[in-house]
Amino acid sequence: MKIFFAKNIGFCSGVKRAVAITEGALKKDPQPVRFLGELVHNENVLEHFLKKGVRFGKKLPKVKKGTLIIQAHGRPPLPHLPGITVKDATCPLVKRVQLAARDFHQKKYQVIILGDKKHSEVLGIKGYANKKTLVVKDEKEAARLPFIKKAALVVQTTQNQETFNKTLKILKKKIKELNYANTICPEVSARQKEIKDILEKCDAILVIGSRLSANTRRLAEKTESLGKKLIWINSLKELKSQMPQIKCQKLGVISGTSAPDWEIDKIKKYLKNYAKKNQSN
């Protein structure tokens, strides 16, 4: 078995930043440290910090001490929280979408978000515009929108470029005055482009990441859409249980942006040893 590892694998820069902020808060900021929402969409990362004493909550804590960390996907603006140290781990690229939505709203545009309606990033972006912000998941939903005189489109950072292009084309026909900001994360785009090259030369694709992760799910969907065998795991333990069933000559290995580097390293080591052992046999 030959194994092809993607160049863009493991944590993206936004997740690395969020993890570093949390590690720093555990060392020097007021305790206890709490997450407001999931720091990133990966169970292994959350478990890593829960073991270190980080507390987790979806609502604002009623206590008046400690440190509160805003998730990498962002959230609507917070009220003043006296006595609590707030650390904003929102990815800078997500923050860019939030501010773009706020700017369009202030200029009296009807804000439209291309994204997953219930995703925490989209809910956070809506908080920077208004309750009447529209959300469409693709060009089909965009085609069903009513005529709008003046609107602006922003994009969830983990959307793919093809869906954005199709949606923008539809909206240009339906909206008299359309403005837009292509806010897709370049690191996500790089992984989406790289998977095409890997798919061309591999029989099967190993996708590493959580099923909670939107960008990981899109990598898996792309694999299946092209008729390639998909192996989707989130840990070395899961891989070991599935390895006997993986029958292929060429295996491509990719990951979502929140797949932890420490887990990636273990998986790489295991696969290299596996390939070497089977080659000698």
pLDDT in tens, 24-80: 999 999 999 999 989 999 999 999 999 999 998 888 878 789 999 999 999 999 998
Could you count the other beta carbons within 10 Å of the beta carbon of residue 209?
27
Q: What is the pLDDT of residue 53?
A: 95
User: Does the pLDDT at position 14 exceed 80?
Assistant: yes
Lowest mean pLDDT of 57-61, 110-114, 178-182, name the range.
Answer: 57-61
Domain boundaries, the chain: 2-11+186-280, 13-90, 93-180
- State residue 237's pLDDT score: 94
Judged on CB neighbours under 10 Å (0-12, 13-18, 19+), 214 is buried
Correct CATH for 93-180 of 3.30.1330.90, 3.40.1010.20, 3.40.640.10, 3.40.930.10: 3.40.1010.20
Q: Quick one: how far is CA 105 from the chain centroid?
A: 25
Which pair of tokens denotes residue 38? Answer: 């999931």
Q: At what angle do helices 43-50 and 13-28 cross, to 10 degrees?
A: 10
Give residue 142's pLDDT band: very low, low, confident or very high (50, 70, 90): very high
The residues carrying an active-site annotation are: 121
The fold of the 2-11+186-280 domain, in CATH, is Cobalt-precorrin-4 Transmethylase; domain 1 (3.40.1010)
Q: Comparing 13-90 with 93-180, is the CATH topology the same?
A: no
What is the mean pLDDT of the segment spanning 228-248?
Answer: 91
Does the pLDDT value for residue 280 go beyond 70? no
Q: What CA–CA distance (Å, rounded) separates 40 from 121?
A: 11
Closest CA to 111 of 123, 96, 100: 100
Whether the bond between 79 and the residue before it is cis, its omega within 30 degrees of 0, is no
The label of the residue with tokens 């950072």 reads: 157
What's the mean pLDDT in 121-142?
A: 94
Q: Count of CB atoms within 10 A of residue 225's CB?
A: 9
Which residues lie below 8 Å from residue 193, measured CB to CB, with a gap of 6+?
none
If one looks up domain 13-90 in CATH, what number appears? 3.40.50.11270
